[in-house]
């Protein structure tokens, strides 16, 4: 296995966790410890360490570092216990108010029995609801003491796929409420197929629904597309799905979903990464077919924003873009330039859909104008 597109610190940890051959995994851990082990105490909160502990324990391996790894695993298990209890309470509240909900990401993996409740750290609970029930769900959570923890402009339903709410001061009482799988996929008409394929599961003793495994893999890939080469938690989730003996991925469903949503960039990038660097066993016909999946304007603009953001301003220098970044003090303070660019991308897409033959200068002008108005209104609140 070769994970060498990841930063050196993470690549060895990732290899220790997902290598098919236990000997390869052990060697990766020993190599990581030799290079970074002197600062092991500083890295004890890293989210991959509980997974490393579980893997080494399965090998019946022991050395003094296992004590700290066990501490990381037990800490993760205690945290996850609180998160899962909060998730069960959320399901109870939504079921009481007849709000349809499905488990996403880590919560779905847990409900399907694909992850150890202590090894895979759960930062929060991700739930999918129907777009038409968004306001009802938010108001229901507010009545239960939850508050939206991000500026309204960041969770605007027209361009954001989720809203984050929290209760109390600890993050283990936090929920990401999704109305679609990703900000690259805001088509609620297509999401109806997700509900048709939902899978009945048990979550903390409560009847619930999860994404179908094929849809869950797409969910994980969509989440990971923004972090390829930077973060590796999504890779562990994807490998957990692909290597599970208890489920089977329907690749026709996966490819069809990508085609309907025009997710050519996401599917090709993540599947190639999993195949080339993680030996995920993805069929060759799926990999070759991914090259024919169409790419949406939103994906192209996101790619442009990642690589050359100044080109969104008709090729002007980056310093010109900073003028628009200065519109909102809160964005500047938090460094949320990516959020600003996503909002601008959304507006470009919206105007393009509204007018199939817009002049590019008029298109950019209207998008920047609307962005200026939105952020000015937010700043004035």
pLDDT digits (tens, 9 = 90+) for 274-302: 888 777 788 889 888 888 888 776 666 55
The Cα–Cα gap between 332 and 329 comes to: 5
The pLDDT tens digits of the residues spanning 137-154 come to: 999 999 988 888 765 545
Task: Please determine, for residue 261, whether its predicted confidence score (pLDDT) is greater than 80.
Answer: yes
When computed from its CA atoms, the radius of gyration of the chain, rounded to whole angstroms, is 22
Of 105-114, 118-127, 181-190, least confident by mean pLDDT is: 181-190
**pLDDT mean over 29-48:** 85
Contact (CB, 8 A) for 206 and 88 = yes
Contact (CB, 8 A) for 1 and 18 = yes
Task: Please determine, for residue 46, whether its predicted confidence score (pLDDT) is greater than 80.
Answer: yes
Say which residues have a Cβ less than 8 Å from residue 362's Cβ, sequence separation at least 6: none
The structure tokens 């008409």 sit at: 189
DSSP tag of 40: G
Enter the tokens of residue 311. Answer: 């080109």
| Cα angle, residue 249 at apex, residues 243 and 253 outer, rounded to 5° | 155
Banded model confidence at residue 43, pLDDT cuts 50, 70, 90: confident
Say which residues have a Cβ less than 8 Å from residue 121's Cβ, sequence separation at least 6: 47, 50, 76, 79, 80, 233
**pLDDT mean over 167-172:** 62
Enter the tokens of residue 99. Answer: 């709000």
Q: How much is the pLDDT for 264?
A: 83
CA-wise closest residue to 73 among 114, 28, 113, 115: 115
What is the share, in percent, of the chain residues with pLDDT greater than 90? Answer: 32
Q: How much is the pLDDT for 169?
A: 56
User: What three-state secondary structure class fits 25?
Assistant: helix
Task: Please determine, for residue 209, whether its predicted confidence score (pLDDT) is greater than 70.
Answer: yes
Q: How much is the pLDDT for 211?
A: 93
Say which residues have a Cβ less than 8 Å from residue 80's Cβ, sequence separation at least 6: 117, 118, 120, 121, 122
Banded model confidence at residue 306, pLDDT cuts 50, 70, 90: low
Say which residues have a Cβ less than 8 Å from residue 295's Cβ, sequence separation at least 6: 262, 263, 264, 265
Q: How much is the pLDDT for 57?
A: 92
Whole-model pTM over 0.85: no
Banded model confidence at residue 124, pLDDT cuts 50, 70, 90: confident
**pLDDT mean over 307-336:** 41
Of 23-32, 282-291, 308-317, least confident by mean pLDDT is: 308-317
| Cα angle, residue 145 at apex, residues 141 and 150 outer, rounded to 5° | 70
Q: How much is the pLDDT for 187?
A: 62
The structure tokens 């391996």 sit at: 61
The mean of the pLDDT values for the chain is: 77
CA-wise closest residue to 344 among 323, 327, 368, 315: 368
CA-wise closest residue to 122 among 202, 47, 228: 47
Q: How much is the pLDDT for 333?
A: 45
Enter the tokens of residue 120. Answer: 């895979």
Q: How much is the pLDDT for 341?
A: 58
Q: How much is the pLDDT for 314?
A: 38
Contact (CB, 8 A) for 324 and 340 = yes
Banded model confidence at residue 88, pLDDT cuts 50, 70, 90: very high
Q: How much is the pLDDT for 321?
A: 40
pLDDT: is 79 or 377 the higher one?
79
């Amino acid at each position: 296995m070769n994970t060498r597109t990841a930063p050196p610190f993470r690549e060895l940890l990732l290899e220790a966790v997902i290598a098919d051959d236990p000997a390869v995994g052990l060697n990766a851990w020993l190599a990581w410890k030799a290079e970074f082990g002197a600062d092991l105490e500083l890295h004890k909160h890293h989210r991959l360490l509980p997974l490393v502990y579980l893997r080494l324990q399965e090998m019946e391996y022991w050395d003094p570092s296992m004590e700290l790894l066990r501490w990381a695993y037990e800490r993760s298990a205690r945290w996850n216990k609180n998160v899962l209890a909060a998730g069960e309470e959320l399901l109870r509240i939504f079921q009481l108010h007849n709000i349809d909900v499905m488990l996403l990401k880590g919560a779905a993996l847990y409900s399907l029995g694909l992850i150890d409740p202590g090894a895979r750290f759960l930062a929060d609970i991700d739930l999918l609801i129907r777009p038409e029930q968004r306001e009802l769900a938010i108001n229901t959570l507010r009545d239960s003491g939850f508050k939206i923890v991000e500026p309204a402009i960041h969770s605007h339903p027209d361009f954001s796929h989720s809203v984050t709410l929290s209760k109390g001061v600890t993050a283990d009482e936090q929920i990401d409420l999704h109305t679609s799988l990703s900000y690259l996929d805001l088509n609620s008409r297509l999401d109806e197929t997700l509900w048709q394929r939902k899978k009945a599961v048990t979550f903390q003793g409560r009847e619930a629904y999860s994404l179908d495994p094929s849809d869950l893999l797409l969910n994980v890939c969509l989440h990971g597309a923004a972090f390829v080469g930077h973060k590796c938690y999504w890779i562990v989730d994807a490998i957990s799905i692909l290597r599970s003996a208890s489920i089977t991925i329907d690749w026709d469903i996966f490819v069809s979903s990508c085609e309907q949503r025009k997710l050519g960039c996401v599917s090709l990038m993540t599947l190639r990464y999993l195949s080339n660097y993680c030996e995920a066993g993805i069929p060759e016909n799926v990999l070759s077919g991914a090259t024919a999946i169409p790419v949406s304007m939103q994906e192209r603009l996101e790619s442009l924003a990642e690589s050359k953001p100044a080109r969104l301003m008709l090729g002007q220098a980056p310093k010109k873009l900073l003028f628009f970044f200065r519109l909102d003090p809160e964005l500047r303070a938090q460094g949320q330039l990516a959020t600003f660019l996503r909002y601008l991308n959304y507006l470009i897409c919206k105007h393009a859909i509204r007018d199939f033959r817009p002049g590019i200068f008029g298109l950019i002008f209207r998008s920047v104008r609307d962005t200026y108005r939105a952020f000015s209104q937010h700043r004035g609140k």
